[in-house]
Chain A
């Protein structure tokens, strides 16, 4: 399963690679990283919808996570990738907007990697 992580914090890559080192070793999960919404869209274009799951931060300079979500859900209809939104602000407006745009899940920072792993397992592929 290929997961695209979108966040403007570059260290997120090192963190995910270490958190999921076992899964990566076993080739259970494969990670790709993008540091902005624009980069994420470009990646999707290039890799022809390889990513099945997209984990995106909402607050980013330039294109926000919500904008990205909207674009993805509009563009890639069949089968749409699973998009999980991550944000430091767990406010209801962000949540409802995300849900309206078709987000599959909504996580708040700081990320609990144990819960994330459980959720990943439950995604039917």
Chain B
């Protein structure tokens, strides 16, 4: 039975022999002590090239046209199918690991004992989580029980994207424990690289922070460009910091690296252009610089995508394409620095010093690359493989260390230069601030002078308007006086009429008496004549008295209209009140014949004479009495039955004050306007009837005499004004 089962593959193989080829002989594993990688001898494996890349494992199983090994390099073909066998001749399990690290993707199909197929995969394009075996090292583990044989189908896939497209070399494998030892335990280079890159990244971040601080203060473009340059560098370092471990999709790190490179280069150029002001200082070199930069970006893109796009082995152009422009670019910058340094001391020299090591690293690297290209073209491929490989390793190491160190050097020196520039700019800024401050204070001083001038002008304008106001006020006061005089005229006329009547009557009677006296004298009745003469004398005295009375009235009127320069003189307040009461009453009667009101007086005869300006106080009394009469006459017009319009004028002594009370039973003052009555130009009379200055002037006059005016009023019932005048 066992034989029968084992026959089956034989039949299959036989068909194959007839069809194409038979299975390759198995590779015998006799020991697991070999330390290095083992390449499967060409006789032990077979291959199918898959130009379409679309052949599936099922198709391979059913109709695989495997050929003997053919290592011709054909970069148009990206997928190859391989098959081989292992047989474990040891007494223990053989644990081996197939190398997938050189390829984008490797798929392994293993047949289990029950005939089913197991699928394992790894490679650069396989994301971390999907890799089988040793993920970072990209080795696929196989376990072969003691004495057993295992059949393996392998699919190699190349994408030629940014990796060195090693030609289809066949199968490499190692013993798992050895791989672990080499890649994980003894791999000091790997850890060195991590440490170095981490250090570089830290340095870059530090430089970014410092330059951000500088930029925040001086706001110069070159600082921002330098920061962006450093960011580009940081991207590159991050991409290089074992990208496989940090990216789910490995290609991402490639793009980060690509973008980082371009950013670095572009802003490195911008930094120099702005630092040296090349566009204005060296316009021609500036153009070269830009041209070379474009060349670099093109070259670099070519080196990354060229192999994939053109499907050819452009491996060695990888470094030449961007390297040559970069070199030129650095040389141009050095030339400009040289020109610039002749005039501008320290900074350019330092910058040149900063670039120089990187330039040297690049130059030497380029020479080495050229040597490899030359060497690999001269000798046959198979013969030089190991030498080229070791030279490549050396170049790799050389670049890693050289570039890292020269970058560190560059960053440190650049930061130093920028620090120098920063402190210079800060000094400049401080100086500018001082200048601005000076200008500002000068401006303020000038403004102060102008302001003072304006204030003087305004003050004189204000003075002028004050003068105008004063004279207007005087005119108003005068017109108020004249207005009240107008009100008085009728009263005065009436007052004069009475004494004049007496003068006329007494003089007429006297004429008659003279005739009678003559008759008596003719009759020699001397006694009678004498009696008549006495009467005559009395009459003449009366005439004189009434003439004087009329004269006094006229005098008072003149005094009233005179400008207020009146002197204070001892005045009988009672007489003054009486006089103005009459004037007011008769004045109103004369103006309005229908006017009729009672007035009652109650004068305190014990009042002392006090020092006042009589015509001023008279004016106040007149004004208040006039108002009182006006109020009662207004109320009378309402036609209230039994209403008797009455005005009371009385005087009183109270302590060291004389009180003049003027009371009416008129309409009273509404409380809403009570506060306003002493304001100038406030009046309740119809327009044209009052100036609105009466009470205001009265208030001023009484104030000037050291007294006060109070008002008590009840709407509808009447008003009482009380004037207080002190006496010494």
Q: A: which residues have CB within 8 A of B?
A: 9, 11, 14-15, 18-19, 59, 61-62, 64, 88-89, 91-94, 109-111, 113
Contacts and interface: CB of A to CB of B under 8 A. Distances in A.
The secondary structure that dominates the B interface is: helix
A18 B539 contact: yes
Given A14-B542, A15-B502, A88 B494 contact: yes
B368 interface: no
Nearest to A14: B542
A61 B596 CA distance: 12
Contacts of A9: 498, 502
Contacts of A64: 598
A19 B498 contact: no
A110 to B, nearest CB: 4
Contact of A14 (B513, B538, B590): B538
B680 to A, nearest CB: 34
Interface in B189-205: none
Given A88-B497, A89-B593, A11 B599 contact: no
Given A15-B502, A93-B596, 9 more contacts: A11-B542, A14-B506, A19-B505, A61-B600, A88-B494, A89-B590, A91-B593, A91-B594, A109-B501
A113 to B, nearest CB: 8
22 contacts: A9-B502, A11-B502, A14-B542, A15-B505, A18-B506, A18-B509, A19-B505, A59-B589, A61-B599, A61-B601, A88-B494, A88-B497, A89-B589, A89-B590, A91-B593, A91-B594, A93-B594, A93-B596, A94-B593, A109-B497, A110-B505, A113-B505
B452 interface: no
A5 to B, nearest CB: 13
Residue from A62, A89, A111 whose CB has the most chain B CB atoms within 10 Å? A89
Given A109-B497, A109-B501, A110-B501, A15 B506 contact: yes
Nearest to B516: A21
Contacts of A11: 502, 542, 545-546
Interface string B529-570: 000000100110010011000000000000000000000000
Contacts of A111: 501, 505
Nearest to A64: B598
B30 interface: no
B504 interface: yes
A94 B590 CA distance: 13
Contacts of B535: 18
9 shortest A-B CB distances, which residue pairs? A91-B593, A110-B501, A18-B509, A15-B505, A93-B594, A11-B502, A11-B542, A19-B509, A88-B494
Contacts of A113: 505
B506 A88 contact: no
Nearest to B539: A18
Contacts of A61: 599-601
Contacts of B545: 11
A93 B600 contact: no
A62 B494 CA distance: 19
A89 B594 CA distance: 10
Interface in B332-371: none
Interface in B570-629: 589-590, 593-594, 596, 598-601
Residue from A14, A18, A61, A111 whose CB has the most chain B CB atoms within 10 Å? A18
A94 B501 CA distance: 21
Contacts of B498: 9, 88, 109
B506 to A, nearest CB: 7
B605 to A, nearest CB: 16
B239 to A, nearest CB: 122
Contacts of A18: 506, 509, 513, 535, 539
A93 B593 contact: yes
A64 B596 CA distance: 10
Interface residues of B, number: 26
A15 B501 CA distance: 10
A22 to B, nearest CB: 9
A15 B509 contact: yes
Residue from B509, B513, B594, B599 whose CB has the most chain A CB atoms within 10 Å? B509
B492 to A, nearest CB: 13
Interface in B465-505: 494, 497-498, 500-502, 504-505
Interface string B501-533: 110111001000100000000000000000000
A89 B589 CA distance: 8
A11 B498 CA distance: 11
Contacts of B494: 88
Contacts of A89: 589-590, 593
Contacts of B596: 93
Contacts of A93: 593-594, 596
A88 B499 CA distance: 12
A103 B270 CA distance: 126
B278 to A, nearest CB: 115
Nearest to A8: B498
A41 B596 CA distance: 22
A99 to B, nearest CB: 16
B453 to A, nearest CB: 68
Nearest to A7: B498
A109 B596 CA distance: 18
A110 B513 CA distance: 20
A105 to B, nearest CB: 19
Contacts of B598: 64
Nearest to B593: A91
A109 B505 CA distance: 11
A111 B542 CA distance: 17
A9 B500 CA distance: 13
Contacts of A88: 494, 497-498
A18 B507 CA distance: 11
A9 B494 CA distance: 14
A111 B504 CA distance: 11
A114 B497 CA distance: 20
A64 to B, nearest CB: 7
Contacts of B589: 59, 89
A92 to B, nearest CB: 8
B510 to A, nearest CB: 8
Contacts of A59: 589
Contacts of B590: 89
A113 B599 CA distance: 30
A62 B601 CA distance: 8
A19 B512 CA distance: 9
Contacts of B546: 11
A14 B494 CA distance: 21
Nearest to B585: A59
A94 to B, nearest CB: 8
Nearest to A110: B501
Nearest to A58: B596
A81 to B, nearest CB: 24
A110 B500 CA distance: 9
Nearest to B505: A15
A15 B502 CA distance: 8
Contacts of A92: 593
A88 B594 CA distance: 14
Nearest to B594: A93
Contacts of A91: 593-594
A31 to B, nearest CB: 15
Nearest to B592: A91
A74 to B, nearest CB: 17
